Structure 1
Amino acid sequence: MTPLERLLNEIAPGMRLETGAGGTAAYSYDASNYRVPPLAVAFPRSTEDVRAVLRACRELDVPVTARGGGTSMAGNAVGPGVVLDFSRHLNQVLDVDVNSRTARVQAGIVLDDLRDAVAPHGLTFGPDPSSHSRCTIGGMIGNDACGNRSVRHGRTSEHVEALEIVTADGVLAVADHTGLHAAAPADEARIDELAARVRRLLADNLAPIRTELGRIPRQVSGYQLHHLLPENGFDVARALVGTEGTCAVVVAATVRLVTVAPASALLVLGYEDVVDAAEDVPEILPWSPTAVEGMDEAIVATMRARRGPESVTGLPGGRAWLYVELDGDNETDVQMRAGELLDTLKALGRMRDGRVIDTEAQRRSLWRVREDGAGLAARLVDGGESWPGWEDAAVAPERLPGYLRDFRALLSGHRLTGVLYGHFGAGCVHVRIDFDFATGTGRAAARRFLREAAELVVRHGGTLSGEHGDGRARGELLEVMYSPRVLTAFAGFKQIFDPDGVLNPGVIVAPAALDADLALDVPQPDGRPTLFTFPHDDDGFAGAARRCVGVGRCRSHTGGVMCPSYRATGEENHSTRGRARLLQEMLLGETVRDGWRSTEVRDALDLCLSCKACSTDCPVGVDMATYKAEFLHQHYRGRLRPRSHYSLGWLPLTSVLAGYVARPLNTVLGGPLGKLAARLGGITTRRTIPAFASRRAMRKALRRKTGKPAALLFVDSFTRAFRPQVVAATSRVLDAAGVPCEPAGGLCCGLTWVSTGQLSVARRVMARTVARLDRGPHRGLPIVVAEPSCAAALKRDVPELLGTEAARRVAARVHTLTGALTDLSTSDWRADVPDSVVLQTHCHEYATFGARRPRDLLRRLGVRKVSEAEGCCGLAGNFGFEAEHYDTSMAVADLSLRPRLDEEPDAVVVADGFSCATQIDHLAGGRGVRALHLAELLDPGEEA
């Protein structure tokens, strides 16, 4: 036990402290270019825990870094000592005062959670970074965050009423608009002396503070000491906002809320380039917009390439776009103003095209493109990578066109490419640049560029940072922006609050070199080559793991499907990001040193449900299910595996044998011997083992009809073994829809061997399947697969594991039933459907066939109400059957599926996935609820 652990065990015995690589490695990163492995990670449950950590660290001279969602792009959420993770426990709304429109919240609360809490009162928190689904209020206070609607609501500092802080020596105090106050009488002398020293520092620097600070709305760089001026009332709360955890640790805050306008309209304007778009910003601002956001074509192209053409709809023609949002009290009035603004901009002649977005679905789709900008720009269509570092400089909005012209010329002069987007209405431009941080020459070139970029933005009267803070990325460059006297004042301010330099050292004051602690390229793994080909990553597995740049969208509890294990546990290591970071650490071999044999990585991957949702929900396309399969293959190579890998991984083979003795076997499995067999196979005894179908039932379902088929019906192992009636129903539905099919039995996609990491077996199985499907008289026919997980395996896993042209040809022919009925059926096909349906969409179908959703098909067929359980069912193939995963499986089900079933207990339930249907049956607990496959719902009957 280290001295730090011993001391904290004495003064904070109930607080969790992680010191091993498995608990700390993921915290070596945020969303920036930097990697700083911490000594320990603490998860405080109370303010007293925070005070204990600070007292102990000060005594032992250990640095402290406060962390919220870990979404910092400037490197201000990583540090070499103790990282305080506020998001795990200190994440509550403590009080809401509707009359004063304020809320008191803990530092670790996620912005969207605060918004949800105050929404019933018609209120919200004004600043809204694109990371609103996972960034915390404490983090927003740390870097004075702004967001898409900063044209209206400005910066976080403008919405802070009071901060509850812990000083570097563990004293609790309150900073507000009138000064600094001790929370306890015993500490009054200490806090009064601190405040007096701040006043003396202010008195000695009035002139430079008045002339150099607060010049433009987005001047985030440095410390905001102008809030302390006499004319501003010695506002210590606002002066501490944006100090990036270098002066005090914020544990709670009282924030001001704003009302939500009843009506709004979104205009999307197309331009030839971003400079033309910037030229129109001064013309738009007098219309009092809530948002004026800009982006270039690279982000849009990447979104369409990654998620399909339907992922971006409603954009007018152009190569750059502005989003302009107007609001008001009346829908008609807002729409009329939007039309007038559109006419005004058309008359100016710079806009190429523009439109008012009519539907809420299109608005959500377009905002998602903008909000995912940082991640999308990290890995572009051509496979190139780009990096932050100069991602949020800002100028006055009227100077934005000139700055952009000069900045693009600077990029060109350095032979660099930048992807531009940002808050154009506030003059703040985000850009990710294709720096070469992997070589010494590239790092030196980046240093030269960043110095010149700083000089350029200062010439335009701007600021190095307009939102993300200086952090490790720009602290060194503050000398370009500020005079020595102001820099000395910054140092003095920090020294007053943190005389021992414990709080987030290397940031803002005495900054580290901007190219120190860079997270360099991870090397290729040692040992034999990987079996997956990773065709979308030039560097194979290393490039795939490096896809994660830390934007943290996987840490969201709402929207999309990823990451179910994080949503169930709240643990960083059980998020997609946490796992990707541990894989990167494994490849680096410094903190995680056992390579493929690493138990730390194994444990982090253990709760991954292999749902594949991250492959589509993650802006950079991290596919953790594939990475997990590869890791398990390498980790257990030449060793005994967990028992469930044999009992569940080899299910396609054992289920064939089970079909010969289905009736007696089902009887045995339903009794005490079944529970014993389950235990021996590593399977939970808290579930009923599904009944196997007999070979006779399967032969009946596989009866072929005469006539020429228009498609092959791939009979997967799950459908063959457990629900052959789905084969017959699918065949009848396809016939009725004008797609007569021929069943193809005796085939397997290899999914169970992939999910358990038995990739050598999977490849052999897949190769046999591809050989059969790629030859013979039906070689060119579409392949329809009733089981979504098997369809996804054929579509993605097979070509990525085999890497052959034949595999790619087969994959191109694969459809789910939904896809076949959408793309292959006759246009006049209809079916009898119920008025309402509860739908559980399989995660693999969501991830791999997202443009063809059962929800949309059901609505087109006339289902009036589709209540979709948006999220993983929790069973996820072998995962929920494994004894050690049962509780997590049920926790995931509780997130979305169980509530939807409980809300509509009498509804028709549809779930194409065998796992989903099995979980629904388990959740129903004997209530007689059985999930129908889509084919069973639409089945016209034998007479078809």
Structure 2
Amino acid sequence: MGTAEVTAPVVEALRKAGIAEVDDSARRRAEYSTDASLYRVLPTVVAFPRHADEVVAAVETCRSLGVPLTARGAGTSIAGNAVGTGVVLDFSRHLNRVHEIDPESGTALVDPGVVLDDLQRQAAPHGLRFGPDPSTHSRCTLGGMIGNNACGSRALGYGRTADNLLEADIVTGTGELLHVAAGADPESSPTLAALDRIVRSRLDVIRTELGRFSRQVSGYSLEHLLPEHGFDVAKALVGTEGTWGVLRRARVRLVRAPKVTTLVVLGYPDMAAAADAVPALLSSGPTALEGLDARIVEVVRNRKGAVPELPRGQGWLFAELRGDDPAEAKALVAQSGALEARIVRDSAEAAALWKIREDGAGLAARVYGDRPGHAGWEDAAVPPEHLGAYLREFEALLADRDLRGVPYGHFGDGCVHIRIDFPLDERGGRKVFHDFLVDAAKLVAGYGGSMSGEHGDGRARGELLPLMYSQAALDTFAEVKNVFDPQDLLNPGVIVRPRPADEDLRDVGRRRMTTGLGFGYHHDGGDFGAAVHRCTGVGKCRVTAPGGVMCPSYRATRDERDSTRGRARVLQELANSAATTDWRSPEVADVLDLCLSCKACSSDCPTGVDMATYKAETLYQRYRRRPRPASHYALGWLPRWAKLASRMPKLVNRAMSGPLASLGKRMAGVDPRRSLPVFAPRTFRQWFAEHPVADGKPVMLWVDTFTDHFTPQVGVAAVRVLEDTGFSVSIPDKKLCCGLTWISTGQLDTARRMVRRSVETLAAAGTPVIGLEPSCTAVFRSDALELLGPTPEVNAVSGAMKTLAEFLSEVDGWEPPDLTGTSAVVQPHCHQHAVMGFAADRKLLERAGVETKVVGGCCGLAGNFGAEAGHYDVSVAVAENELLPAVREAGEGSTVLTDGFSCRTQLGQLVHRDGTHLAELLAGGDERGVSR
């Protein structure tokens, strides 16, 4: 990964220039070695500017040392636009303020690191929004959008980013501080004067080859500099991918958001037929006209469950119209030639349909299970009138090369997205990749199209520009680049003097890691390396808006290290035998330290990354047959200690709260600020042993450690609810364990033995099994498969194990008690969110009449995580993201409903509120701990 001798002068110079946050660690460089593309380039150093002056200082430092510089926002670039040698500047961490929303002029002044959705939230109270909305809107930054000329679904109605940038402050590669806007005076700046001379000398080339249709994004958009277009340097800057200058601040246009929209969904026999219909539909003036393939809908259905009803067909167009004029919608349907159509006016239903399109953007990489889809040829565009013919030839080209992919995208603009299953892990696969890019580029050029329709050229398409532009046009690009960046330091190898498209590719053909593993990785061919390479870098784990769950630690720290993607990047280095070649490497330990093992990524990540499993595997490999941290014995063996403590709970409780408690915590690896949970004076098993067996249909209650030893009242409430419903409740005769605490601490050999015993017992019972603790229930629904394999017993138990809400919802004739008047803040447990889902609980609470506010995010305790020394501050910060503010806002009179023992413990320790389990709520009565 380079040597200290290489990085030290750069780090020293940056710090001397006043940039405090500079990191050249092996771990940090691995995190930033790639974006959402196929490319991997290790930077020398990563810096995080805190204000615009530090941006200037960084450029000056790079100029003086001759070191390349790459600007980066969220790192969602698909063409390799945001990776580079030298210095990578991450704007997203600190330079992320919206400085001004001006409703009168309809503009906003923003830092380059502002996330698009954050701008939208601040503009919304004024009835305004930023027009372009790429599918990465929840994490992409305005600076990145300006760099790539991002568009998104509604660019058809509101224009591209270039159409919405009014002014920008940049520092060029010459070090000049430049303010660019429309109608700039060329004589006001040496750079602008030189630029004006180039444009006037190349008017014929610019007028004939550039700006031919809306999605011509490849190359430089010099048409904005023509005299008839007002020498608009701001617009021309858009799409230059950081090769002209580094953005310091920008003023963007906001548009008036329509109060009401109508969605028209049109079904066609296939995608090409849908594309044929586009030109006729454009006359209706839709704000969006998107294409969606049936194969993407199917993969969304398989991953996410049911999807809203779609019209008959195998390809669909989603047409969005301003307003709710029925005649306008019917007229669009009449000219559509569709097999069938649906007109959707309900905003919630329309949002659910749009979510298919948005989720499909990430899930498209996993349409074909045997070979993942890759970026590389990702967003080519042709004039819309040629789209149908282009798609037919493109599909034929794929078939001829034995490649597969599912087209979708912005059909109204002629822009097609696709992930293709290039055989990059096979011998000769890179040649297949390169040859296909060349032939596909020739096809697009033949239709007068653009290699890129919105993502930019980056490292994937710069080499292909001669197939699209004349040498005169390419020479013009080079001359302009030389004016702004004569040393070629700003994102070198992109657009001008490009790197070959098959250089710098990530090693997706990594070494196989199949032996000696703790888990089976059955969805990845038993290969840990394949599992960690699921991460394609789309960055959904970097979303910080309310309502999400993944990734709790990133939401608290806003550090790439603590994102699922950042962790995956370091583990990919491990799998590739690159920078971190050993399970015990400090980089691996560091990047996983703040992973809460919440499992949210396993459901929320579009490609199914499961970092909780990878962390457990890494801990297993790191400490296998070696001494472990004290917390692994103290917290990882909790069920064993709880069994011992149950013999004398009062004495143990006194010891844990007495004068020696702090010493005991230190010895156990527990944070001194963390209170230890109190053991119940009587376990649930002890209560159940004296409880008379009721008549009824048999059902088994899984007795987890937390219910048994700490909150037996939850088990008692569950028994009462089930018996009132007509069931006879039993529990396993033997004291069994799901092994959860051993799994989370990577003690997988012990966990496997425990899970096997439990599975064998539960399978032999042959009755439905109800789990009360979501994390334990999730073990039997997910981890057991990876630990034991898909045996008949595992499959049987997985199908039999239900949450209380799932079970009751399937009981014929059962109705919940009338709880009208009860208001509840509801915190779904992270493992339930990820594995079982919360739909059954939500419907049950609705039927019961409970007024709910369902909170996103994680409680922050997450089992052993929040108790371990060194994690307390992050644990509290995670809780402060959503849970604690929601509880404070709700007030004392509301119920805080959460089934997770960790969640209830965190509430009790941080805000002194008692959490309520669903079983307690349904059992009713204040004496059972229900707060009304």
Normalised-by-shorter TM-score class: over 0.9
What SS does the aligned partner of 1:218 have?
A: coil
Matches within 5 A, 1:545-564: 545-558=532-545, 559-564=547-552
Q: Secondary structure at the match of 2:524?
A: coil
Q: Distance in 2 between matches of 1:72 and 1:526?
A: 29
2:333 is the counterpart of 1:342: yes
In structure 2, the residue matched to 1:503 is 490
The sequence identity of aligned pairs, in percent, is 50
TM alignment of 1:4-153, pairs within 5 A? 4-12=10-18, 14-153=19-158
Structure 2 residues without counterparts, runs of 5 or longer: none
Tell me, in whole angstroms, the C-alpha distance in 2 between the residues paired with 1:736 and 1:320: 50
Farther-moved stretch of structure 1 (70-79 vs 404-413): 404-413
Deviation string, structure 1 residues 332-356 (Cα, Å, up to 9, x no partner): x4345324433443xx3xx222212
Paired with 1:279 and 1:736, the residues of 2 have a C-alpha distance of 61
Alpha-carbon offset, residue 374 of structure 1: 3.0
Report if aligned partners of 2:462, 2:495 keep a CA contact under 8 Å in 1: yes
Is 1:820 aligned with 2:783?
Answer: no
* Cα distance in 1, alignment partners of residues 736 and 327 from structure 2: 60
Seen in structure 2, the aligned counterparts of structure 1 residues 575 and 696 have a Cα distance that, compared at 3 Å, is closer
Counterpart-to-counterpart distance in 1, 2:63 and 2:480: 18
- State the alpha-carbon separation in 1 of the partners of residues 368 and 649 from structure 2: 50
What SS does the aligned partner of 1:222 have?
coil
Q: How much has 1:208 moved relative to structure 2?
A: 0.8
TM-superposed CA distance for 1:831, in Å, is 4.7
Contact residue 93 and residue 109 of structure 1 kept, 8 A: yes
Range moving further from structure 2, 763-772 or 119-128: 763-772
Distance in 2, Cα, partners of 1:792 & 1:105: 43
> Is the aligned partner of 1:168 residue 2:168?
no
Matches within 5 A, 1:309-348: 310=306, 312-328=307-323, 333-345=324-336, 348=337
SS in 2 for 1:710: strand
Q: Using a 3 Å threshold, how does the CA distance of structure 1 residues 132 and 527 change in structure 2: closer, same or farther?
A: closer
Where 1:255 maps in the other structure, the secondary structure is strand
**d(CA) in 2 for partners of 1:368 and 1:732?**
40
Contact 2:520 2:526 in 1 (8 A): no
Pick one of 771, 789, 794 that aligns with 1:803: 789
1:747 maps to: 736
- Give the Cα separation in 1 of the matches to 2:268 and 2:387: 15
Distance 1:710 1:340, change over 3 A: farther
Deviation by residue 1:302-322 (Cα, 9 ceiling, x = unmatched): 1122222x2x22323322221
1:732 paired with 2:727, answer no
Native 8 Å contact 1:739 1:825 kept in 2: no
Q: 1:938 aligns with which of 893, 900, 922?
A: 922
Structure 1 residue 804, shift from structure 2 partner: 4.6
Listed as ranges, the gaps of 5+ residues in structure 1 are 182-188
Cα pair 2:364 2:406 within 8 Å, conserved: yes
Deviations 1:724-783 (A, max 9, x none): 1111111221233344432236121100000111111111111111121122xx22x111
Identify which range, 240-249 or 833-842, moves more after superposition: 833-842
Aligned mates of 2:790, 2:424 — CA distance in 1: 34
2:833 is matched with 846
Deviation at 1:105, TM superposition (A): 0.4
Shift in CA distance, 78/127, structure 1 to aligned 2, threshold 3 Å: same
CA distance change for structure 1 residues 650 and 410 in 2, over 3 Å: closer, same or farther? same
Is 1:258 the counterpart of 2:255 in the alignment? Answer: yes
- Corresponding letter in the other structure for 2:909: H
Partner of 2:897 in structure 1?
910
TM value normalised by structure 1:
0.94
Cα separation, partners in 2 of 1:544 and 1:259, compared to 1, 3 Å: same
1:283 is matched with: 280
Moved more, 245-254 or 700-709: 700-709
Q: How many residues align?
A: 917
| 8 Å Cα contact 2:809-2:840 kept in structure 1 | no
Which whole-Å CA distance do the structure 1 matches of 2:565 and 2:811 have between them? 38
1-structure distance, mates of 2:632, 2:778:
21
> Could you tell me how far 1:828 is from its partner in structure 2?
4.5
Secondary structure of the residue aligned to 1:741 is strand
SS of structure 1 residue aligned to 2:283: helix
Distance 2:819 2:693 in 1: 24
**Aligned residue in 1 for 2:780:** 794
CA contact (8 A) 2:513 2:529 kept: no
Q: Is the 8 A contact 2:10 2:45 kept in 1?
A: no
Q: What TM-score do the two structures reach when normalised by structure 2? A: 0.96
- Residue by residue, what CA displacement relative to the aligned partner does 1:669-712 show, whole Å, maximum 9, x if unpaired? 22222232222211123232111123465311453514354321
1:461 aligns with 2:474: no
Mapped contact 2:195–2:483 kept (Cα < 8 A): yes
CA distance in 2, matches of 1:769, 1:606: 30
Q: SS at 2:899's partner residue?
A: coil
Paired residues for 1:878-917 under 5 Å = 878-905=864-891, 906-917=893-904
When residues 715 and 215 of structure 1 are mapped into structure 2, their CA distance, relative to the original with a 3 A threshold, is same
CA offset at residue 502 of structure 1? 0.4
Is 1:221 the counterpart of 2:218? The answer is yes
C-alpha separation in 1, matches of 2:684 and 2:495: 72
Q: Deviations over 1:471-527 (max 9, x none)?
A: 111100000000000000000000111101101111000000000011122534669
SS at match of 2:32: helix
- 1:722 alignment partner in structure 2: 710
Residues 392-541 of structure 1 mapped to structure 2, 5 A cutoff: 392-521=379-508, 523-524=510-511, 529-538=516-525, 540-541=527-528
Q: Which residue among 327, 343, 351 is the counterpart of 1:364?
A: 351
Measure the CA separation in 2 of the matches of 1:383 and 1:654.
Answer: 45
Q: Which of 3, 9, 14 pairs up with 1:3?
A: 9
**Conservation of the 8 A alpha-carbon contact between 1:658 and 1:692:** yes
| Cα 1:852/1:747, change in 2 over 3 Å | farther
Amino acid across the alignment from 1:378: A
Partner amino acid, structure 2, of 1:316: P
Matched, 1:763 2:764: no
Distance (Å, rounded) in 2 between the aligned partners of 1:119 and 1:223: 32
**Is 1:589 paired with 2:577?**
yes
SS at structure 1 position matched to 2:95: coil
Give the CA deviation at 1:830. Answer: 4.3
Matched position secondary structure for 2:81: coil
Instruction: Determine helix, strand or coil for the equivalent of 1:169.
Output: coil
1:580 to 563, 568, 578: 568
Once residues 863 and 438 of structure 2 are traced to their aligned partners in structure 1, the CA distance between those partners, rounded to angstroms, is 53
The question of whether the paired residues in 2 share the 8 Å contact of 1:729 and 1:939 is answered with yes
Query: What is the SS of the residue equivalent to 2:565?
Result: helix
**1:940: Cα distance to partner?**
5.5
What SS does the aligned partner of 1:419 have?
coil
Using the TM superposition, give the Cα deviation of residue 380 of structure 1 relative to its aligned residue in structure 2, in angstroms: 2.3
Q: Judging changes above 3 Å, is the alpha-carbon distance between structure 1 residues 56 and 941 closer, same or farther for their aligned structure 2 residues?
A: closer
Q: In the alignment, which residue of structure 2 is the partner of 1:376?
A: 363
Q: 1:185 — aligned with what?
A: none
Pick one of 761, 771, 786 that aligns with 1:772: 761
Q: 2: distance between equivalents of 1:899 and 1:832?
A: 24
8 Å contact kept, 1:277–1:321: yes
Alignment of 1:181-220 (within 5 A): 192-220=189-217
1:338-384 deviation digits (Å, cap 9, x = unpaired): 24433443xx3xx2222123544433322222112332011225343
